[in-house]
């Protein structure tokens, strides 16, 4: 599915690059693994090639989708009526899905709330993580301009 050098997004970890595909012998069973270097914390992740579909790893969003996501980020509606615990669960679930649009919505909504009142520690951490994941992907999108990246800042 993926090739060496492909930029990918791993939900809850951000963007990374496939550095290698290696056959590794673990517990007397040989299996092929994707070796992924994540851009956040320079962490390396090994995922069996047979489990890649269920891992929700996906290719980096392309430039055509970015303009739509920017529009949602800047003009989309936020649901600010939810109690914070319910809002936290909804936002955490969006981040776990690993889709750029949903991650941008989390950043947008929590930033809007933050302008009006102080976020609790859990939501503040969720906002920081979502923003870091979003930026890690934006930095590797081919054809994106600095102006487009700044629209998320």
Range of the domain at 14: 6-59
Closest to 145 (Cα-Cα) out of 63, 75, 60, 39: 63
73 and 46 in a common domain: no
67 and 43 in a common domain: no
What is the arithmetic mean of pLDDT over 97-122? Answer: 92
127 and 53 in a common domain: no
- By the 10 Å C-beta count (0-12 exposed, 13-18 middle, 19+ buried), 72 is classed as middle
Read off the pLDDT of residues 27-61 as tens digits, 9 standing for 90 and up: 888 999 999 999 998 899 999 999 998 889 999 99
How far apart are alpha carbons 141 and 152 in whole angstroms? 14
40 and 70 in a common domain: no
Read off the pLDDT of residues 4-34 as tens digits, 9 standing for 90 and up: 999 999 998 999 999 999 999 888 889 999 9
In a domain, 99, yes or no: yes
84 and 39 in a common domain: no
């Amino acid at each position: 599915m993926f090739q060496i050098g492909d930029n990918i997004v791993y939900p809850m970890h951000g963007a990374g690059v496939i550095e290698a595909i290696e056959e590794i012998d673990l517990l007397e069973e040989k299996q092929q693994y994707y070796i992924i270097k994540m851009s956040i914390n320079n962490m390396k992740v090994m995922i069996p090639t047979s489990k890649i579909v269920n891992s929700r790893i996906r290719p980096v969003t392309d430039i055509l989708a970015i303009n739509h996501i920017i529009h949602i980020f800047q003009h989309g509606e936020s649901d600010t009526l939810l109690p914070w615990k319910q809002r936290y669960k909804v936002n955490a679930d969006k981040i776990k899905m690993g889709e750029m649009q949903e991650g941008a919505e989390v950043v947008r909504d929590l930033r809007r709330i933050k302008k009006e009142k102080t976020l609790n520690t859990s939501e503040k951490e969720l906002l920081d993580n979502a923003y870091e994941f979003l930026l890690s992907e934006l930095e590797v999108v081919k054809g994106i301009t600095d102006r487009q990246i700044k629209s998320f800042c």
